Each structure stands twice: as C-alpha cells, then as structure tokens.
C-alpha cells in the first residue's frame, strides 16, 4: 500500500542544503512558521526564531529539497560541546504526510552525532497544533525532561531530550 500523499518512493533523492536561509521559498516557509507559532503560542512561551535569528553562529540551518522543490526546514543549535537543540523544524504544507519531518529530524540527529553531541533536546508546545510534532519526537526516542538552556517552564511548554 502506498503512503498517503507520497509522490516519490525515492526519499534517498531528497537533499539537504546547509545555510539556505536567503532562498525565497525558505524565507516564505520561515515567515509562515513564525506567524503560525506566534498565533498558536502564548507570548511568554513562544520561542520561535525569526529568519534573522537563525543566522546565529551557534545554529546550523538546513533546507530539505526534492528536485529543487522545498520540502521543509530544520536547524541544530549548539548549546554546549556535548549538547544540541533542535530548532525551527517545519514541513511545507503541500508535503505533509510524506515523512519530511522525520527525515529532517533524522538528518539533524545524524549531524549532532557527527559533532560529538551526546544529547539533543528540544522545546515545543503542548496544544493541538503541536500534536504531530509531539508524536514524531516521542516516536524517535525523545523523552520528557525539564527546562534546559534559558527556557522557563510554563503550562504550555514541553521539553524533550534524547541521548545519542
């Protein structure tokens, strides 16, 4: 049985592009991501970075593409020499249901391992708009943890971590 919405069975044809922040399609997806996070998250618990914030030297940003078409984006921030944070993951709406988010997460995890990180963490919301993300992270071995870095605990915020 074919996967829902799958246009290609060749996920190995998907490519990842580092530092693709100035591409028009990436800018549009990040703007949508920023607006969506701002509209669904309480202001005291919304930690979404604008595109400019992803240009921080501690953050590596990637776009995932298929035949040049943008599938999604994600980033990895170095918090310490052994600890990274997943940032700004977003799948293009037309690509939902194809496994793009999982592929981006696998890529980020692989990059974290290559950098010698022993742990990778993330912060996300807990309401309905975050249900798919929560399911993905838990299915990939992320377990609840307390706040890390400069985050504060709120009723809306969930923290996860995974040993590598």
> CA-to-CA distance for 156 and 131, rounded, in angstroms?
13
User: Domain holding 86: CATH number?
Assistant: 3.40.630.30
Residue 90 lies in a domain: yes
Residue 163 lies in a domain: no
Question: 3-class DSSP state for residue 68?
Answer: coil
Look at residue 36 in the predicted model and tell me its pLDDT: 81
For 69-89, write each residue's pLDDT tens digit.
Answer: 999 999 999 999 999 999 999
Domain range for 20 is 14-121
Residue 21 corresponds to which tokens in the numbers above? 């922040």
Residue 97 lies in a domain: yes
Residue 149 lies in a domain: no
For 96-143, write each residue's pLDDT tens digit.
Answer: 999 999 999 999 999 999 999 999 999 998 888 889 999 999 999 999
**Rounded to two decimals, what is the model's pTM?**
0.89
Helix axes 100-114, 131-139, angle to 10 degrees: 50
Q: Name which of 32, 164, 163, 14 is nearest 98 in CA terms.
A: 14
Residue 116 lies in a domain: yes
Number of domains into which the chain is organized: 1
Residue 129 lies in a domain: no
């Amino acid at each position: 049985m074919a996967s829902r919405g799958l246009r290609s069975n060749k996920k190995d044809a998907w490519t990842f592009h580092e530092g693709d922040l100035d591409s028009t399609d990436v800018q549009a997806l990040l703007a949508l991501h920023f607006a969506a996070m701002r509209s669904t998250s309480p202001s005291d618990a919304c930690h979404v970075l604008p595109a400019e914030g992803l240009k921080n030297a501690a953050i590596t940003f990637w776009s995932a593409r298929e035949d040049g078409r943008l599938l999604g984006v994600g980033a990895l921030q170095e918090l310490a020499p052994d600890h990274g944070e997943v940032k700004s993951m977003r799948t293009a709406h037309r690509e939902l249901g194809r496994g793009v988010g999982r592929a981006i997460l696998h890529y980020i995890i692989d990059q974290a391992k290559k950098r010698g990180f022993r742990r990778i963490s993330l912060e996300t919301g807990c309401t309905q708009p975050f249900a798919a993300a929560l399911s993905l992270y838990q299915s990939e071995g992320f377990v609840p943890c307390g706040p890390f870095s400069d985050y504060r605990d709120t009723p809306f915020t969930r923290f996860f971590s995974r040993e590598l």
